[in-house]
Structure formats: structure tokens, C-alpha cells
Amino acid sequence: MVRPDQLIIFGASGDLTARKLIPALLHNFVAGALPRPIQVIGVSRSERTSEAWREGLRSSLPPALAEAFVDFAPRLHWVRADVAQRAQLQHLHEVLDRLAGPEPDTVGRLYYLALAPQLFGPVVACLDAEGMLTCAPDAQQGWRRVVVEKPFGTDLPSARALNQELLSYLREDQLFRIDHYLGKETVQNLLSFRFQNTIFEPLWTRQHVESVEISVCETVAMEGRRGAYYDGAGALRDMVQNHLLQILALIAMEPPGSLQADDVRNEKVKVFRALRQIPAEQIARDVVRAQYAAGPARDRGYLEEEGVAPGSETETYVAIRAAIDTWRWSGVPFLLRTGKALHKRFTEVVLNFRTPPIDLSGQAPTDACPLRPNTLRLRIQPHEGVVWSFLVKEPGAGMEMRMAELGFDYADLGVSQIPDAYQRLLLDALEGTSTLFLRGDEVEAAWSFIDTIRAGWEATDAPIHTYPAGSPGPEPADALFHGCEGSWSYGP
């Protein structure tokens, strides 16, 4: 008899469970991708029955998953408990053992903490005190793992303290710090695209690449009650510290020895440590922060949103000109930007290649910026694919040139639906594969870079610009491109 895995979701009454985790599990269930049978135990202080939880989840699912849910629903169970109270975890422990059947110590358990970050430490401490985390290193059965969502800390000291707290109860191999961007198909493909294709990797250096642009642009603003949470975070901590820096690391890292977790994460940490700290006197030159104001896409600005403090200085947009001091990237600017209430929703990486030393066509005037014909666009959302641009000659006499493109779209593979990021990440956590999860020193190195920027803002009273909701962003951000380096992408 194949022993089941148990996925225990703390905070199961929240939006993440219904919107992401259960649909991801269902898709994997339909595809036959789950490594073993699974039982899902939702845990919350909310009073409800397993039948009521199942019905609530069923009503929120897309119609395409309705049939599969009939077979999956008996695997879902509800337990009411305050997970920060050890006495109530005793009851949960008993329920888990009963559901597991004979020899419950041989059943693998994945504890998913879909909770406020301040509860991570207390919950893990209670699990440890109840003996619910004990397992041998590299255990093939009876393993115990914990997944925590972002944000992992709010700055370097808090992230370091949280690491120390959690690692006093868990080994690093048991702790899975999730960043759902790493589960996106195109983000994962960065590794294979770079290191499995000899035509690209030799060009991936400062000798050929003039600049790199990483954009995560969103059209959403502070819908619902999000303003209260966002006002305590801002774009720098909410998006740059994790999503953008993770993409940057995959673009800038050296080839790992293998795709084993530590080999990949070692190279990412080297990138974060090589990020040049931006001194306070250069913050205004290299970093632009802004808030959206009323505009074509929204009739009120950020300061008028529900839950936002009067006079708040929280940024809804940030753009950074960063530098990586390595042999591969010295002198190449990495331009990062992210923002809310922008003109278009897209995430992409653009590598701008250097121009030829001489323009043989004679088209470009000598006193103007030369046209940069060669770019490589790695599109992450909403359209996932790769586009390579180059110049070709127009048919006929003369040397009239025009732009052309070669592209690849994931839809061309005939896949009806690209898997959601959580599908891959949940499978990896169940298998104990941590390559796409964050390591403790990786998180701390990223926070070190972010904290320098925040300190610079505070030390210099850096200005907070505004931009109309529905626009491409604040005009001062354009100045982060120096001279003839180009301008921000407008997306697909």
C-alpha cells in the first residue's frame, strides 16, 4: 500500500487556499503528477465542517475543474484550531495520525503556513514542541517540511531574526521559503535557455550586452482593502526584494555545476553579494520612487485610497539603476522597475546588445544616437515567450534597413494551458526539491541591497514623484537611462 502525503494548510480559510493552492493541486491530480496519494487538511480558527469547506471550495472553482473535484473532495478535511496554541495542536496531531492510518510516522507531512509572517515563529515553535517536525535528514518517508509565504521579514534585521528563529526548530532542508515567480514557466526556462544553448551563452557578457531591463508592470491599484497592507510595504519591499531580484539573479548568475538546489542557489547568492550598494548621495540619481495620482485609469490617487495613511510616503512605483560588480557584468547597467496602476500589465526582461562599431548602411547620422537593432526579450507574463530582434535589408536598390523579429511563444508547443506557478512549486515541496525556493543567506543578501536604498531615502529626504494612473510611470524614471542607452519598454 502506497502511503499518502499530507498537506496541512494553516490559514486555510484565506484567499490563497481557494484561489491558488487547491486549484494547483487539482490540476496536478488531473494530470497524474502527484508523486503519491494526498490528503489535504485545512486548519483555521473558523468553525466549519469538512463538508462545508469542500462545498465552499467547489463553488469557487472554474467549471473545467468541477468534474475532477468530485473525486478529489473526499481527500479534503477541516480541523478547527488556533495554531499558535500548543494544546490545540495536540488535537490536530491526533487527527493527522488517524487520517494517516497504520504507521503514521511513515507518512510525509508538508505544513503550509498561509499565515501572517508574525505567526511563522510561534506556529513552528508549537509544532516542534508537539514533536510534529521530527524526521531524519534526507528521509524518504516520514519527512516533515514547512513552507512559508512572503514577505520573509521587512528588512535585513527582521529577516535575519526570522531565519534564526525558524532554524532553531528546523533544518535548512526542511524549510521552503516560497516565491511564486520562480514557479513561472518562463522564469524556470531562463536556466535552460541560457545554459543549454551555445548560441546565447557566449553573448551573455558585458562585451556584447549594453544594458538589461527588468520590468514588472501592473494595472491593478489598491482594489478592495489592499491599501492598508500595501501602505506598510511599498513597491520596493513588496516586489523588488523578491520577484525582481530573483529574476535578476537568474539573468546574471554564472553557470551552476548542476541544477541541484545548492549549486543554483550558491550562484544566486554570489550575484546578490556583488550588487553594488547605492550610497545615499547617489540615491536621487539612481533610484526613482513615485505614487500614482488620479488619471485615465482611476479617478483617485494613492493618497485617497482606503486604508492609506494621510500624507503617506509609501511608493507605488520604483525604478532602479543597479550595477553588478563581477567580471561578466562590470559596467552593464541593470534597470529595474515595477509599479501599480500603470498603462499595461506585463513582465519581461530585455537584453539590449551593443551596436556594431561602424554603421555600413550610412543611414544613421553621425550626431544622433545609433539605432540598437539587437534585443532579446524574455516575456514572462501575460504572454510567455522569447523574441529576438535584428535588422534586415529592404528589397531593392540601396541599403534601406528595417527591423525584423524571430519569436517563440509557449502557445506554439500546443500546450492548452501553461501550468500555474503553484503547480510546480507544490510538487517540488512534496518531493523535497528546493531549487526553486529561497535559501536563508539568499534572502538576507537581497535585503541588504534593499535596506541601503531605504536608508538613502531617509537620509536624503528623496523626492516622491507622481504619475497619472494608467500612464507608463513618472517621467523622471526615464533619466535612469543615460545618454544613448535607450528608454523603457512599453511591453508586448
Q: How far apart are CA 264 and CA 274, in angstroms?
A: 16
Q: Are the beta carbons of 117 and 162 closer than 8 angstroms?
A: yes
Q: How far apart are CA 107 and CA 6, in angstroms?
A: 7
Q: Which of 236, 201, 16 is nearest to 112 (CA)?
A: 16
Report which secondary-structure segment, H or E, holds 111.
strand 109-113
Alpha-helical regions (H) of 4-103: 15-16, 22-31, 50-60, 66-72, 86-100
Q: Are the beta carbons of 310 and 303 closer than 8 angstroms?
A: yes
Q: How far apart are CA 117 and CA 186, in angstroms?
A: 28
**CB-based contacts of 144, cutoff 8 Å, min separation 6:** 108, 109, 111, 132, 133, 134, 135, 174
The residue from 243, 343, 383, 482 that is catalytic is 243
Secondary structure tally for the chain: helices H, strands E: 15, 15
Q: How far apart are CA 294 and CA 304, in angstroms?
A: 9
Q: 343 an active-site residue?
A: no
* 3-class DSSP assignment, residue 57: helix
Q: Which three cell numbers stand for residue 24?
A: 494547483
Terminal Cα-to-Cα distance of the chain (whole angstroms): 51
Q: Which three cell numbers stand for residue 167?
A: 532554524
**CB-based contacts of 7, cutoff 8 Å, min separation 6:** 25, 38, 39, 40, 41, 110, 112, 426, 430
Q: Phi and psi dihedrals of 112, rounded to 5?
A: -105, 115
Type of residue at 228? A
Q: Are the beta carbons of 50 and 446 closer than 8 angstroms?
A: no
Q: How far apart are CA 161 and CA 173, in angstroms?
A: 18
Question: Can you say how many angstroms the Cα of residue 106 is from the centroid of all Cα atoms in its chain?
Answer: 33
195 by Cβ neighbours in 10 Å (0-12 / 13-18 / 19+) ranks as middle
Q: How far apart are CA 36 and CA 106, in angstroms?
A: 13
Q: How many CA atoms lie within 13 A of 199 on its CB side?
A: 2
Positions marked active-site: 243
